[in-house]
Amino acid sequence: MDMNKKLAQVSDLFCIKGTFVGYHTIQMGNVNKTYEVKFRQPDGSPKSYLIQNVNTYAFRNPIQLMDNIDKVTEHIRGKKPGQIALHFHHTADRKTYVIDGDNFWRMTNYIPSVTYNSVIDQQVVCNAGKAFGEFQMQLSDFDITQLYETIPGFHNTRQRYEQLQEAIEADPVGRVAEVQDEIDYLMSVREVACQLTDMLEQGKLPLRVTHNDTKINNVLFNPDDNSAMVVIDLDTVMPGLVGHDFGDAIRFAANKVSEDALEYDKAGVDLEVFRSFTEGFLDMTADTLTQAEIDTLALSCLTLTVELSTRFLADYILGDPYFNIKYAEHNLVRTRCQIALAKDMQLHMEQMEQIVAECVEKAKNTH
């Protein structure tokens, strides 16, 4: 596909004014494809937008997904009038998407900002914690029944294990033999990893509206002072547990190496980063969380790390249909890195629990 031509056409369908100048691909996420498109406006000034091609293998109901995002962004905009926010462009017939063949396009404003793939500064990570905590609080009065479950069972860890089991049984590309150690480890922690899912089913943890993909690079920061401006990537906003957001954020931000590091043996939880994020997150949420939610925050980090390991491994076994990969063993490296992190979290569980308790105290004393 001639991308220049295609992106110019898509922009036109979203009624963008001005002359298309060019585009570049943005490295963002492992599922969708993102492009910054540049325009010269009728008055001569430059203006950028973002266009995304939504992965419809991952998101089987992209129209429902856009419906969720529309409602959630409007709700948040109502809470922060006048502030920078994510805004989706509409077509002439008021749709937030363009379907052409297998492609599902959407277009948003481009927000000049910085993002971080790894932690360079404890204040940044604390601000990210506040941003995700605030996001949840802004949606605490949002009617859950308004949301479609765009990926059913997204953080249902038991279901993720069943999907891994099915992949192992199918073994369509003959990769199971080489990943026996990884399978053995994941099966050994199955019950502890499924504890959150079980508690939800037993009614011991409340459902909230959650983001469900709280990687620190899903927060846009102000380049001037590193304050958090906007939480992006709302594709997986769905009913979920507070631990899904907390645990996934820690899994990504507090890892000593990147999510797919080749040196996966160096993976582990950085307790200083853990503390900074937890402090920011609980500053926003401590007053509203139940005791059971607080008690399972540290556990949720292990849960989300193990859960993602099962997803990366199942994808590797199936021949990588889901996650974008850069090389043949990418999903295997990701799996090994997450497993190394999970093992280190098991070793530090008590310290993580202790830090959560201290941050709860601190939040309650300052409010």
Binding footprint of Mg ion on the chain (CB under 5 A)? 29, 213, 233
Identify the residue among 3, 13, 21, 31 touching ligand GN1 (CB under 6 A).
Answer: 31
CA–CA distance, 95 with 89 (Å, rounded to integer)? 8
User: Which secondary structure element, helix H or strand E, spans residue 180, and what is its range?
Assistant: helix 180-188
Contacts of ligand GN1 in 302-331 (CB under 6 A): 308
Contacts of ligand GN1 in 32-91 (CB under 6 A): 58
Contact between 99 and 56 under an 8 Å Cβ cutoff? The reply is no
Least CB distance from residue 63 to ligand GN1, whole Å?
16
CA dist list (Å): 84 to 48, 226, 229: 15, 15, 7
Task: By CB under 6 A, tell whether 245 contacts ligand GN1.
Answer: no
Identify the residue among 11, 30, 96, 309 touching ligand GN1 (CB under 6 A).
Answer: 30
Contact between 341 and 273 under an 8 Å Cβ cutoff? The reply is no
Contact window for ligand GN1 (CB under 6 A) among 73-81, 183-191, 228-236, 313-321: 228-236
What is the number of the residue whose Cβ is closest to ligand GN1? 29
**Closer residue to Mg ion (CB): 22 or 152:** 152
**Closer residue to ligand GN1 (CB): 9 or 88:** 88
Task: By CB under 6 A, tell whether 96 contacts ligand GN1.
Answer: no
The count of chain residues that interact with ligand GN1, using the rule CB under 6 A, is 10
User: What token pair was written down for 211?
Assistant: 């983001």
CA–CA distance, 157 with 161 (Å, rounded to integer)? 6
User: What token pair was written down for 276?
Assistant: 């900074």
Least CB distance from residue 218 to Mg ion, whole Å?
7
Contact between 227 and 127 under an 8 Å Cβ cutoff? The reply is yes
CA–CA distance, 84 with 334 (Å, rounded to integer)? 34
**Closer residue to ligand GN1 (CB): 236 or 276:** 236
Exposure class string for 131-169: b at 16+ Cβ within 10 A, else e: bbbbbbebbeebeeeebeebbeebbbbbbbbebbeebbe
User: What token pair was written down for 304?
Assistant: 């989300």
Least CB distance from residue 15 to ligand GN1, whole Å?
27
Contact between 49 and 112 under an 8 Å Cβ cutoff? The reply is no
Contact window for ligand GN1 (CB under 6 A) among 28-36, 70-78, 132-140, 185-193: 28-36
**Closer residue to ligand GN1 (CB): 20 or 277:** 277
CA dist list (Å): 348 to 282, 304, 354, 355: 20, 15, 10, 11
Task: By CB under 6 A, tell whether 259 contacts ligand GN1.
Answer: yes
Task: By CB under 6 A, tell whether 236 contacts ligand GN1.
Answer: yes
Least CB distance from residue 202 to Mg ion, whole Å?
29
- In the chain, count H helices and then E strands: 13, 9
Q: 357 is in the binding site of which of ligand GN1, Mg ion, none (Cβ under 5 to 8 A by kind)?
A: none
Least CB distance from residue 213 to Mg ion, whole Å?
4
Contact window for ligand GN1 (CB under 6 A) among 6-14, 92-100, 196-204, 231-239: 231-239
CA–CA distance, 186 with 164 (Å, rounded to integer)? 10
Task: By CB under 6 A, tell whether 293 contacts ligand GN1.
Answer: no
Task: By CB under 6 A, tell whether 129 contacts ligand GN1.
Answer: no
By the criterion CB under 6 A, which residues form the site for ligand GN1? 29-31, 58, 213, 233, 235-236, 259, 308
